[in-house]
Amino acid sequence: MGFLNIEIKARCDNPQKIERILEKHEADFIGLDHQIDTYFKVNHGRLKLREGNIENALIHYFRKDQEWPKSSEVLLYKSEPGSNLKAILSESLGILTVVDKQRNIYFIDNVKFHIDEVQCLGSFIEIEAIDKNDKLGKEKLEEQCNYYLNLLEIPEKDLMKNSYSDMLLKSDQC
C-alpha cells in the first residue's frame, strides 16, 4: 500500500499542553504504543521495521532532509508481531540504528499526531497529514499541517529537520 504523507516534527517541552489542545478539539486517542523502529542499511530511501503494541509494519519511504513540512512517498506492509521478518532483514541488510520510543497516538480525520518520548533524545510532537486514497493532494496536506502547527502553538525554533534515526546516528548520548 503506497501513499503520500506530509510531516512536521518538533521538539516538545510540554507534551501535556499538546494533549489538552488535541482533546479540546475532539481528537481520537488511539493509545500509548511502545515502539521499536529498527532501521536497515539500504541503498535508496529508508527502510524500517516498526514493532509496537498498536502499530506493526515494514515501512519504506523516500524523504529529503529539509525544513518543514516534509513530503514522503511511503510504502507500508503490515507485519505480524513475533514473525521472523526482523531476523531476515537484519541478516540480509544489516541494522543501521534502532529508535526506542513511547508514542501517544491521536487522529483528527486524516491527520495523525504523535507525542513521542524518544530514548536518548527527549520529547517530540509529530503532525502527519496522510493521503491514502490520492484524493487530497500535497497542497491540502501542507495546509492541514500548517493549521495544526499554529493550533498547537509550536514555535518555529522547535521544528526539526532530521529524523529520530538521523539524530541518534549523530548523537553520542546513547
Q: What is the CATH number of the domain that holds 38?
A: 2.40.320.10
What is the pTM for the complete model shown?
A: 0.86
Domain containing residue 80: 2-170
Pairing mode of beta strands 95-108, 111-118: antiparallel
Instruction: State the pLDDT confidence band at 64, using cuts at 50, 70 and 90.
Output: low
Nearest-CA neighbor of 55 among 17, 90, 86, 81? Answer: 81
Structure confidence by residue, pLDDT tens digits, 67-88: 556 565 677 888 988 889 999 9
Torsions phi, psi of 56, nearest 5?
-140, 120
Q: How many domains does the chain have?
A: 1
Distance in angstroms (rounded) separating the CA atoms of residues 91 and 174? 23
Averaged confidence pLDDT in the chain: 89
Neighbours of 109 (CB within 10 A): 10
Q: Of 22 and 172, which is predicted with more confidence? A: 22
| Helices and strands of the chain, counted as H and E runs | 4, 8
